[in-house]
Amino acid sequence: MKFSLPPLPFTMDALEPHLSREQIYYHYEHHHRGYLEKLDAALKGSDKRDLPLEEIVCTTQGKVYNLAAQVWNHEFLWHGLSPQKLEPPTGKLGDLLQSCFGGKDGFNDRFEHVAEERFGSGWAWLVYDPHVDRLEITSTDDAKNPLGTDVFPLLTLDVWEHAYYLDYKDDRKTYIGKFLEHLINWDFANSNLAKCTNPAQRSATPVQPRDPPRQTRG
């Protein structure tokens, strides 16, 4: 099976003025596509080529893990961005934002802090821990993500500099603020939470847990 790049869930200019067409094109066509093509080459002749991407992430190490995780992270990222500004969620997700962070403003403050404080390259995540029925905000370095750990990702933000440099240079804080105020796809987060809390909606393919990534927890 040859890997193929999924289309974006929005047009290249749909996130303007917060993320420009040039920034999205560069990020998607150069970085996302680049990771996918390198993964395709790295798995040439391997039985793992026929596995779902999520399972490749959860059952590999080293170079293949880094490439597969970056491909998965970017696919997840794009679906977590919305061209239309959405109202803060209601229902269970809204209740969890209130109980865990004191509401949307508290969530924004904590997410901004964790994402901005991630040293170097990495990702910021909103995750759900079903064992304690709570949301957490974490960050992971490089390609690492929460797959195969005890928590479930609901949203992510890429804080590698290539994700925002064309629009914001080295101003990561402003980039994070634009995401929090204008671009979060709460519908996507809600659907991910529903899968976490309803086992029937989860993938039927079991995967072996990997060691948890190094994280900064919120």
Name the residue with tokens 């047009």: 11
Q: Is the domain of 72 the same as that of 115?
A: no
Instruction: Let me know if residue 178 belongs to a domain.
Output: yes
Amino acid found at 35:
Y
Look at the chain and report how many structural domains it folds into: 2
Last residue of one domain, picked from the residues 79, 111, 128? 79
Distance CA(159)–CA(140), nearest Å, equals 10
Q: Inform me whether the pLDDT recorded for 128 exceeds 90.
A: yes
Using N-to-C axis directions, what is the helix angle for 91-101 and 186-197, rounded to 10°?
A: 90
Q: Is the domain of 66 the same as that of 118?
A: no
Residue 185, token pair as written in the block = 């796809």
User: Where in the sequence is the domain holding 190, given as residue range(s)?
Assistant: 91-199
Q: Is the domain of 66 the same as that of 139?
A: no
- Selected residue with higher pLDDT from 177 and 4: 177
Q: Do the beta carbons of residue 210 and residue 148 sit within 8 Å?
A: yes
How many angstroms separate the first and last alpha carbons of the chain? 39
Kindly indicate the confidence band of residue 199, based on its pLDDT and cuts at 50, 70 and 90.
Answer: low
Kindly indicate the confidence band of residue 198, based on its pLDDT and cuts at 50, 70 and 90.
Answer: confident
Distance CA(106)–CA(8), nearest Å, equals 30
Q: Is the domain of 75 the same as that of 141?
A: no
Give alpha helix (H) positions in 18-144. 21-25, 33-42, 53-58, 62-79, 91-101, 104-117
Instruction: Let me know if residue 154 belongs to a domain.
Output: yes
Q: What pLDDT, in 10s, does the model give residues 40-71?
A: 999 999 999 999 999 999 999 999 999 999 99
CATH at 35? 1.10.287.990
Q: Inform me whether the pLDDT recorded for 123 exceeds 60.
A: yes
How high is the mean pLDDT of the chain?
A: 91
Q: Inform me whether the pLDDT recorded for 218 exceeds 50.
A: no
How far, in whole angstroms, is CA 23 from its chain's centroid?
A: 17
Question: Rounded to the nearest 5°, which phi and psi values hold at 88?
Answer: -55, 145
Q: Is the domain of 119 the same as that of 179?
A: yes
Q: Is the domain of 97 the same as that of 192?
A: yes
Average pLDDT over residues 149-155: 96
Q: Is the domain of 160 the same as that of 102?
A: yes
CATH at 193? 3.55.40.20
Q: Is the domain of 67 the same as that of 117?
A: no
